[in-house]
Amino acid sequence: MYSFDSMCAHRRSKLAPQLHYKSACLQSFLPILFFVFYSLSSYGQDWRDAISNLKSLNLKGSEHTYSENSGDVIEIPTTRGEAGVPSQFSLKQYVPPAINQIGGSCVSFATVYYGLTTYNRKREENMGIAPNNPLELHTKVHAFLNTCNEIGDGLNPGLALTLLRDYGINANQKIELKDSVCEMIYPLEECPVKLEHWKQLNNSSQNIDKVKYAISHGNPVVAGISTNLSIELYLKENWVTFQLFASVLPEMSAQEQSSIITLIKQCFSESLSGFSKNDIIAEIKKTSTFNDKQEFCWQGKHPLKNQDPHAICIIGYDDNRFGGAFEIVNSWGATWGNSGYLWIKYSDFYKMYPLFYMIGN
C-alpha cells in the first residue's frame, strides 16, 4: 500500500461555451475548441514525502507531538444483520450541500465540511448543525507546516485529521485562503469544534467490509483515491463538451480524430497518463449517453497509482445497486455527477488505490 502524503489535485473549471455544430470539418473550429479545453483543463501536484520526512521540515509546530493513530484496525463482526454489516446504508440525509473546493483543499472539504458535519449531525440527530468551514483547517495545517507561501497546495490527510483532533476549529468562522491570514494563525490555539477520534482502515484485504461497517454505524469515511479523465468527465461542463465531439465522431476522418486527440492530450495531460488513442475515443463515446436524469455510476479506465491524488467522502453503500457500490460526495461542485454525488462499484473503487480514514469513534 502506498502513501498519500500531499493530496489533492487543484482543479478549476469554467463553463464551456455552447458550441452548436454538426460539421465534419472540425479543423475550422480548432481555435475555439482549444479555448474550450484550455478552460476545462485541470492540473495536479505530485505527492511528496512530507510526512515521512516530517522532522526535516522547518515546522512552526515542531514542539507539538505529531502522532497519527493510523495503526488502529477495526474488527468487524463475521455475521450480518443488526450486529454486523447490513446490505445497504446511507448517511446522505445528513450531508451538507455539495460545493466547490478552493485551491487544493479537497482533504479539508472531505474531512471537515462533509465528514465531521455529517458525523455530528447523525450522532446528535440534528440537521440544524451548520456545516464546518474547511478553509480554517486547511489554513491551520499550512501554518503548522510553515508552508503559508504554498497555501493553495494539498494536505496529508493523517496530519489534517490529527490537528483537527488536537486543536479543532471554530464554529462558522469565515476565513480567507491567504498566506497573510495563514501566518497570523500560528501559534495554533485550541478551538471548540474538534474531532474526538479517527482511524485509518489499513487492512487492505478487508477494506470494503470495514468501510461498510463504519458507515452503517454513523461514521463517514474519507478516502484518498487516484483520479483521471474518467472521473473528471462527470463534471457536466466537461461531458457536455465531449458530447459535441461524440456527435461528430462518426463523420471525422482519421486525421481529424488525431487532431482532436492531440488537443485533448494537451489540455488533460496529467489526467491522461496511460490513455491510448482508443481509450480517449472510448471516453468521448461514453459521454453520448450522459444526461441530467440518469443516476451516475462511474465507469471508465482505472487510474494509475499516484495519478491526480484526490480526497472524497464515502457516505453510503448498497450491495444490490450496480452489483455493489459506494456512494461518494465530492468537492467539485453540484454540477459534478448527481448534484455532487457518484456511485462507484466496490470492484472499481478498490482499483483506485484508496486509503481510508474513518471519522469519529
Q: Which residues in the chain show pLDDT less than 70?
A: 1-6, 8-83, 202-206
Over residues 46-90, the pLDDT tens digits come to 323 333 443 444 445 544 444 444 434 445 444 444 457 899 999
Q: In which residue are the cell numbers 463534471 written?
A: 235
Q: Which of 168, 172, 176, 173 is nearest to 197 (CA)?
A: 168
DSSP codes of every residue in 146-179: T-GGGTTS-B-HHHHHHHHHHT-B-TT------H
Q: How far apart are CA 231 and CA 351, in angstroms?
A: 13
Q: What sign for the dihedral angle of Cα 297, 298, 300, 305?
A: negative
What pTM, to 2 d.p., does this model score?
Answer: 0.82
Q: Which three cell numbers stand for residue 198?
A: 479517527
Give one word for 34, left, alpha or beta, with left for phi > 0 and alpha for psi -120 to 50: alpha
Q: Which three cell numbers stand for residue 268?
A: 488533460
Instruction: Give domain 54-230+296-359's CATH number out of 3.90.70.10, 3.30.750.24, 3.40.50.620, 2.60.40.10.
Output: 3.90.70.10
Contacts of 148 (CB under 8 A, 6+ apart): 142, 179, 182, 183
Q: 195: which DSSP letter?
A: -
Domain borders along the chain are 54-230+296-359
Predicted local confidence at residue 107, as pLDDT: 96
Q: How far apart are CA 315 and CA 215, in angstroms?
A: 7
- What is the CB neighbour count within 10 angstroms for residue 217? 14
Q: How far apart are CA 159 and CA 95, in angstroms?
A: 23
Q: 113: which DSSP letter?
A: I
Q: How far apart are CA 2 and CA 21, in angstroms?
A: 45
Q: Which of 219, 334, 351 is nearest to 274 (CA)?
A: 351
- Residue 194 and residue 168 in contact, taking contact as beta carbons nearer than 8 Å: yes
Tell me the β-bridge partners of 317.
89, 326
Over residues 197-212, the pLDDT tens digits come to 999 886 555 678 889 9
DSSP codes of every residue in 33-53: HHHHHHHH---------TTTT
How far is residue 232 from each of residues 11, 237, 270, 272, measured CA to CA in Å? 10, 10, 12, 11
How far is residue 78 from each of residues 214, 217, 345, measured CA to CA in Å? 14, 16, 22
Q: How far apart are CA 14 and CA 98, in angstroms?
A: 17
Q: 323: which DSSP letter?
A: T
